[in-house]
């Protein structure tokens, strides 16, 4: 049975998106050259992943000569928000408070982060 396509980014897809976000656009060959600095990858693999990202609505392409130039349609913040919503619904019944409590119970936060959280909680109470 075929695996269901995820609406969020896989690790490999995020790596491609990071390249596109940093460069603003890139061809398959340009993405491949950048990825090859870190790990071995095949042209066809990168091309397929970019097509998947296009189907998911993360990128679009324009023809440039014989190549396609890919452009991000979603910025980092939008992708982050989408992933967070997915996480909330999958593991925390869609309740942001459950996620916040889990983080506070299981992670060590810096004093700076704690102060920022305190300020945000106070602002939320005033709304």
Q: Is the pLDDT of residue 2 over 90?
A: no
For every residue of 27-90, DSSP letters joined together read EHHHHHHHHTTTS---HHHHHHHHHHHHHHTSEEEEEETTEEEEEESS-HHHHHHHHHHHHHHH
Same domain, 62 and 115: no
- Residue span of the structural domain in which 17 resides: 11-72
Q: Within a domain: residue 87?
A: no
pLDDT exceeds 70 at position 123? yes
Same domain membership, residue 18 and residue 67: yes
Q: What's the pLDDT band for 8 if we cut at 50, 70, 90?
A: confident
In a shared domain, residues 28 and 60: yes
User: How many other CB atoms are found less than 10 A from the CB of residue 123?
Assistant: 9
pLDDT at residue 7, rounded to an integer: 78
Same domain, 63 and 105: no
Segment 28-40, tens digit of pLDDT: 999 999 999 989 9
Q: How confident is the model at residue 1 (pLDDT cuts 50, 70, 90)?
A: low
* 100-123: average pLDDT: 94
Is residue 15 located within the same domain as residue 53?
yes
Per-residue model confidence (pLDDT) at position 5: 61
Number of structural domains (the chain) is 2
3-state class (DSSP) for residue 26: strand
Q: Per residue in 19-73, pLDDT tens?
A: 999 999 999 999 999 999 989 999 999 999 999 999 999 999 999 999 999 999 9
User: Per-residue pLDDT averaged across 76-81, rounded?
Assistant: 95
User: Does any domain span residue 86?
Assistant: no
In whole angstroms, what is the distance from residue 6 CA to residue 87 CA? 12
């Amino acid at each position: 049975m075929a695996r269901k396509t995820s609406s969020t980014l896989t690790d490999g897809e995020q790596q491609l998106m990071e390249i596109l976000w940093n460069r603003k656009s890139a061809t398959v060959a340009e993405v491949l050259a950048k990825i090859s600095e870190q790990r071995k990858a095949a042209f066809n693999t990168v091309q397929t992943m970019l097509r998947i990202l296009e189907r998911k609505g993360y990128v679009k392409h324009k023809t440039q000569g014989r190549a396609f130039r890919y452009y991000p349609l979603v910025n980092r913040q939008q992708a982050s928000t989408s992933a967070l919503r997915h996480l909330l619904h999958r593991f925390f019944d869609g309740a942001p408070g459950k996620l916040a409590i889990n983080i506070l119970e299981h992670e060590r936060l810096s004093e700076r982060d704690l102060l920022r959280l305190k300020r945000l909680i106070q602002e939320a109470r005033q709304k």
